[in-house]
Structures are given as structure tokens and as C-alpha cells.
Structure 1
Amino acid sequence: MRLSGKTAVITGGSRGLGRAIAERYLLEGARVVCAARNPYDIKEVLDLAPERSAYIPVDVTSDASVDALMAETAELFGGVDILVANAGVSRDGRVDRLQVDDWQDMVATNLTGVFLCTRAAVPYLERSTAGRIVNVSSSMATRVAVGAAGYCATKAAVEMFTKVSAIELGPRGILVNSLAPGILDEGMGQQVTSNDRIWSRYKSRLALGRPGRVDEAADAAVFLAGAESSYVNGHVLEVNGGLLWS
């Protein structure tokens, strides 16, 4: 129960990695708010600990929506100790074909959303005895992927935003780190593993020869939110099984 007594807000928390992190945080004793545009089948997660969990709809591209999320969380559970900024979208397209609307959607969700969530959470986190922000990035933040300019660029920006935030917020008792998963067996990674032609190309680039499980990435998110990471700040933790990329 490494997160007992802590309250966590997880954006994009109703499916994929966000859902897995929510489940793991609940098992570790945290109070958890799963925040997303769509609840999907989140009731299965909330049923793990109904008295310590809630779903709150949010649009991370809207400052009013994000502010309301933090206020409602504090009203429900008495504060906010952990923010996991996980909400993200990917739109395929080479730079000469990528639509402006798709580019702006990625910037608004993947980057501006992290900024808005951070800004809204700070007044609550600085009242915590152990404020934590975990920004979810990607292995593609530091590796070139043809057709993914928008996604790669926004995730790279998230990592630099994390490092600057860590320096600015550290003196206020808030640690800011980034979790950068590789190819996982759910969410966006599933689009790779479910296509035999694509997966045959990427499998050879993984030292462990398999995709990661979302629970393995969720374990890393527990570390970054807990007491064991009390002197880790401004770090990008890659969870990718040894990913080679050319």
C-alpha cells in the first residue's frame, strides 16, 4: 500500500495505460480520480475500491474544464497529491500531408493539456506533503518515426516541459518526472502488435523480443508517485524493454 492516503488525478484514465495506472494506484491504497472525455467501461476499475475512486469527465484542452476537475477532486477527497498527465492523441501523417486540424489536435491535447493540468494542480500539490506530477511521454519523443511528426514533436516537448517544471516547482515541494513507455500491449502500441507486417519489423528492435505490458509501465508510475522517488526530479524514465531504433 505504497500510496495509502494519497489522492491521484489521472487524465486519460479510463482506458489503456491510464486505466492500468488507475488500477495499480487503487491497489496501492490511493484515492483515484479517473478523468477522461469518455468513461468507457471505467466502472470495472471503480468497483475495485468504490469508496476511494471516482470518474470525472474532463477536456484537457479547456482550462475551465481542468480547473473544475481539480476543484471537484479536492472537494471529494480533500486535496490532490499526485497528477498523472496521461491524456494523449496520435494522428498519422507525413509533414507534407498532415492536416492542420490534426496537428493542432495533438498540440492541444498532448502538450497544452499537460500545461493546463500542471497549472491547475499546483495550488493543491503544494499543500501536499509529497506532491508529484507524472507526465506521460513516449519512446517516440527521442526517436524518429516516419509519419509521426506531430506525435514525436509533442512528446519531445512534454519531456522538456517536465524538466523545466521540475526546476520551477521543486522548491515548492513538487517533484515532476516523465514516464516514457515503449511499445505496449494496449492502447497505441496495440496498433503495432496487432499488424503482423508492422510488428515483424519492430519486434527485432526489442531486446526482450516482446511488447511491454501496461501493468509493467504502471509499476513505474507507482515508483514515480511514491516515497521511493523522493530524490528523483526532472527525470525521464523509459520503460521499453531495451528498444533499439534506426
Structure 2
Amino acid sequence: MPGDLEGTAAIVTGASSGIGRATASALSDAGARIVLAARSEDRITALADDLGTDAIAVPTDVRDERDVETLVERTVETFGGVDTLVNNAGLGLGSSVEDLSTADYRQMMETNVDGMFFTTRAALPHLRESAGTAVFIGSFAGQYPRSFNPVYAATKWWTRGFAKSLSAQAGEEVAVTVVNPSEVRTEFGSEEGESFAGRFEEGEVTEPEEVAEAVVFAAERSPSMVSELDLFRRDKFTGL
């Protein structure tokens, strides 16, 4: 039987849109109290209002370890602990290694790698205390060689490797799950051109709500855990 998320506390990073927003809503529907973390204060504040009294917005730049420490402190002060951490915040910039600027490289690494580390480090003692779950949003790009945007892909290989090794270190104290979607119809990619939401029609690729359902499924497992869950569009391997 699935575990009961009623009254538990969940942190969702990158909660202002896309996968993060859908995940926050799905966890709230499952009974969890939600802490919304993102740089877009107006968006997460509006979402917290929509979700109700059991949701708070904490403006957070995951690249800033002090911001992340404040995020976890606010969660514990408000809800008494941390039961679920959803490491979702991330971005993809550039494509060609030769053309990738140092600024874009560093922004991607600081967000996708440092941000996940800082958030995990701050939340881990509380996850141990609650025997909670850490969910990492990985990617198809973190499992297979990629001919475009190899730096983004490398950050997702790091995500997967870190999560697996964290699981080995945490043992039975914390469940660790990696969710690997292929393309998801969100604003991803809009920083440098057409987003996935603009590129794909509804039904062509994975929807953010599908990823959110996978996160809830992982958070509900107890005493077992979902180690890894792949969500690929049906024709993803065609032509590979």
C-alpha cells in the first residue's frame, strides 16, 4: 500500500513553472504541505495562494547556499521538518562546446549541480530524521550520449551519479529516487529560443503532470523505494 502523504512537508525547487509547479500541485492534492522555492517570487506567491493555507513561498536562488539554508530553516520552522525534497531547479543553455560562453557554462553548472548539492546538503539531516524521500529530476540526457548541448547533459549525468551515490551513503535512512523524463512540454529552452511548450503539440511528448505523478508515486513508497523511473516519449528510441 502507498504511504500517506497527509500532513507531510515537501520542498519543491524550481516551483514557479513546468515540472516544479505541476509537482507542487500534485503533492498538495496528495495531502502534503508544500514549500515552493524559486527565484520568481510573484509566481510562487500566487501558486501558494492557489494551493491554500498549507503552502508557503520562499524565494530561493539554489545557487546561493545561504538562500538554500534559509529555505530549509523556514520549512522546519513552519511545518516541523522535511519529509520530501524534490530537486527540480535546472536550466539548459547553449549547444556547441566551442560556442558556449563561460558565463553560460558557469550558470548551468551552478544551477544544475551546485544547486542540487546545496539543497540536498541542507535538507539531508531532516530527511534522515523523518525517514523521508529525496527525488532528483534527471533526464534522458543523463543516461545516453548526446550530440548537442553536452554540458547540459553532463550536469544530468552528475545528477544521476550523485543521487545513486547518495542513496548508497544514506542506506535505509532516506529513500532516493531519480526521475528521468525525455522532452517535457514546458518553458524549458525558452532562454535561448523556442521552448518545448512551443515546439511540441499536446500529446507529442511528456506533460509536466506526468512527471509530477511519478514524483508523488515515489514519495508514497514505504518501506520500499523507487530507485529510478524513466518517462520517455514513445518514439524516443526510433532512429537511434
Give the TM-score, by structure 1 length: 0.87
CA distance, structure 1, for counterparts of residue 128 and residue 146 of structure 2: 38
The structural deviation recorded for 1:116 is: 0.8
- Specify the alignment match of 1:186 in structure 2: 186
**Paired letter, 1:61:** R
- Specify the alignment match of 1:6 in structure 2: 8
CA distance, structure 2, for counterparts of residue 48 and residue 127 of structure 1: 30
Please, which of 206, 224, 227 is the counterpart of residue 231 of structure 1?
Answer: 224
**Paired letter, 1:180:** N
- Specify the alignment match of 1:135 in structure 2: 136
Preserved contact between residue 137 and residue 179 of structure 1 (Cα < 8 Å): yes
Percent of aligned positions that are identical: 32
From the superposition, tell whether residues 163 and 44 of structure 1 become closer, same or farther in structure 2 (CA, over 3 Å). same
Deviations 1:94-115 (A, max 9, x none): 0111111111111111011111
Please, which of 94, 109, 122 is the counterpart of residue 96 of structure 2?
Answer: 94
- Specify the alignment match of 1:166 in structure 2: 167
CA distance, structure 2, for counterparts of residue 155 and residue 83 of structure 1: 17
Deviations 1:93-148 (A, max 9, x none): 301111111111111110111111111001111111x3100011111112344331
Correspondence list, 1:115-130, <5 A? 115-128=117-130, 130=131
Preserved contact between residue 25 and residue 51 of structure 2 (Cα < 8 Å): no
The structural deviation recorded for 1:43 is: 4.3
**Paired letter, 1:216:** E
**Paired letter, 1:241:** R
CA distance, structure 2, for counterparts of residue 169 and residue 12 of structure 1: 24
Deviations 1:125-175 (A, max 9, x none): 1111x310001111111234433111100001100000000010124x111
Preserved contact between residue 9 and residue 82 of structure 1 (Cα < 8 Å): yes
CA distance, structure 2, for counterparts of residue 146 and residue 40 of structure 1: 37
Preserved contact between residue 212 and residue 240 of structure 1 (Cα < 8 Å): yes
Preserved contact between residue 31 and residue 53 of structure 1 (Cα < 8 Å): yes
Deviates most, 37-46 or 15-24 = 37-46
- Give the total of aligned pairs: 231
- Specify the alignment match of 2:49 in structure 1: 47
**Paired letter, 1:170:** G
| Secondary structure of the corresponding residue to residue 188 of structure 1 | coil
The structural deviation recorded for 1:23 is: 0.4
- Specify the alignment match of 2:18 in structure 1: 16
CA distance, structure 2, for counterparts of residue 101 and residue 44 of structure 1: 31
- RMSD of equivalent CA atoms: 2.0
Preserved contact between residue 73 and residue 80 of structure 1 (Cα < 8 Å): yes
CA distance, structure 2, for counterparts of residue 119 and residue 184 of structure 1: 28
Structure 1: 5+ residue stretches without partners = 204-208
Please, which of 16, 27, 30 is the counterpart of residue 29 of structure 2?
Answer: 27
**Paired letter, 1:194:** G
Structure 2: 5+ residue stretches without partners = none
- Specify the alignment match of 2:147 in structure 1: 146
